[in-house]
A = this chain, B = another copy of it.
C-alpha cells in the first residue's frame, strides 16, 4: 500500500471518495466498503480515520459549507457598474455548477436530507442567507446607480438565486451534468428581471401591459 504523506491529506482523500459515493448512491445507500474501495483503502483503513459513517458525513457537510462560504466571501468590486458585477457573479456560479458536478449533486443531496435533520436545515439556511446577502448588496447598489429598477433587494436576490438553484437541479437530469440553458442566456434572463425599464421604444411592441396587471 502506498502511504500518503500527511494525516490531513489522507482524510481529504477519504472525504473526496465518500463525497463521490454519497452523491451517487445517497447517504444510506452508500456502504462503508464503497467508500473504502473508492479511496483505495480497506474498511479498516477508513475506520482508522473515521469511526462512524455519520462523522464522515458531518465532515463532508462542513467542508462543503466552508468551501462555498470561502468562495463567496469577498467584497464585490466597486469600480464597475453593479450590473456588470452581478453578471460576473452569476456567470461564475453557473460555470462552477457545470465544472464541479459532484459539488452540485452534493447540494442537491443535502436538500433531500434536510427534512430529516435540523442540523442540516440550519446550516443550509445559513449558507442560503449568506448568498442572499451577497446578491442583495450588489442589487442594492445597482438600484442606487440606477441600473436596476427599484424594489426589495433581498426579494430579488432570492428570485435570482432560486433560478440558479433550479438550474443546478436540472444538471442532475443530464448524464454529463450540462445546464439546460447556457450561462450567457441565464445571465440575460437575470438582467431582464432586474434592469431598470428604459423608456420603451414606443411603437415597436405596442401596448406592453394592459396596465392593470395582476
Contact = CB atoms under 8 A, between A and B. Distances in A.
Contacts of A113: 26
Interface string A196-214: 1111110011111111011
Interface residues of A, number: 76
What is the oligomeric copy number? Answer: 4
Contacts of A149: 192, 198-199, 205, 209-210, 213
Contact of A121 (B159, B173, B191, B213): B173
A162 B166 CA distance: 4
A16 interface: no
B192 A150 contact: no
Contacts of A167: 162, 166
Given A26-B27, A162-B180, A209-B150, A193 B189 contact: yes
For the residues of A in contact with B, the DSSP-based class is helix
Given A146-B211, A197-B200, A125 B173 contact: yes
A44 interface: no
A165 interface: yes
B146 A83 contact: no
B166 A161 contact: yes
Interface of A: 23-29, 81, 83-84, 87, 105, 108-109, 111-116, 121, 124-125, 128, 146-147, 149-150, 152, 155-156, 158-159, 161-170, 172-173, 175, 180-181, 184-201, 204-211, 213-214
B192 A83 contact: no
